[in-house]
Amino acid sequence: MEEPTFADYVALIYNLFDRFVQECGSEANWASDRYDYQHKGLIVFFIMMQYRRIHKFKTQWRWLNKHPGLCEQLGFERVPDRTTLSRRYKALYPIVCAFVAFLGQYAEELDECLRSHILYEDKSLFKAAGPVWHQSDRREGRIPKGLHGLDTGASWGKSAYHGWVYGYSLHLTCNQAAFPKLVQVETASYSEQQALTDKEPQIFHALAPDTFVGDDAYTKALRIRQWTRQGIALLTPALRWVTGRYARAYHRFITQPDNASLLHARKTIIEPSFDLLAQVTGCTDNQKQLPVRGRPNVRSFLAIGVLIVQIAMIANCIWDLSLRLISHIGVAFT
């Protein structure tokens, strides 16, 4: 069976990004010609560095100097300075998030399994690189003597699986095939409710699902009624919303066989998406410790990871490969 090569993946990313920029129109002001290095070339380069686990910008710069052929292939007239690599990497987060959102819509044209009729939402915590900053010290802005390599941009959040985690949170929207649709990266303390509010315009107007499924953290009576008026059924277990006639009516609704089945399947739908992300980022230990430090770097790192999963799954559809077998892209980029 034919598998896509590195050149195939690069061509796919470039074509999709060009289409993305064209359809964004004037909103894509970051896609102007004022940059010496195009975003799409940098995205491909940072995907390669992510797979090769090369995260320090000085090391990336040295690697590029030893591989001048890649610079030519990516359209770089010269090797970017390490400070340029650092600055552009940090600035990629909103671009990659917008690209992910675009691909979430674009992919619906490819295959039924990539459509947005039913969407799932969840939050996953990632431990910050380096030591933890105890809350008592963090509140005072006090860094204990001898505590080196601390990521001061992170915060504390609680996971049902790992307990308290000092780090960052990934808020992921995916469909029933675990195909990512939207991504948002914040510190660990950022609430699921606020992240969902941030995503509402894209969910309502771009994705327009029939049903949206989340865990109990997304339960909010007012939101459920508002989404119903938008034609979207928001399904949550509503474990703490049990009193009153509206709550009783909602529980009758979520216990209907089809809705109960969607809620029951939530973990088996969303977890494979996080597992795929762990594969491409290398965050596979118990608390998914990050290899990069600082909120801007973490945001780009995790957003690029989600983009990799998207590109891999889109390529698998085009080449008629198993949808979730994303090892092909890993082989091509390493």
Q: Comparing C-alpha atoms, which of 179, 167, 151 is closest to residue 314?
A: 179
Q: Domain boundaries in the chain?
A: 6-101+292-333, 112-281
Predicted pLDDT at 40 = 94
Residue 225 vs residue 35, higher pLDDT: 225
pLDDT, the chain, mean: 92
Average pLDDT over residues 109-122: 94
CA distance 281 to 276: 9
Predicted pLDDT at 1 = 61
Query: What does the pLDDT look like over 188-219, one tens digit per residue?
Result: 999 999 999 999 999 999 999 999 999 999 99
Topology given in CATH for the domain delimited by 112-281: Nucleotidyltransferase; domain 5 (3.30.420)
Query: Tokens in use for 314?
Result: 């889109």
Query: What does the pLDDT look like over 30-56, one tens digit per residue?
Result: 554 556 688 999 999 999 999 999 999
What Å distances lie between residue 10 and 42, 73, 74, CA to CA? 11, 9, 9
Helix, coil or strand: residue 151: coil
Query: What does the pLDDT look like over 311-321, one tens digit per residue?
Result: 999 999 999 99
Query: What does the pLDDT look like over 257-266, one tens digit per residue?
Result: 999 999 999 9
Predicted pLDDT at 160 = 76
Predicted pLDDT at 255 = 96
Predicted pLDDT at 27 = 53
Residue 297 vs residue 286, higher pLDDT: 297
By CB atoms closer than 10 A (0-12, 13-18, 19+), residue 88 is: buried
Predicted pLDDT at 204 = 96
Task: Read off the pTM.
Answer: 0.94
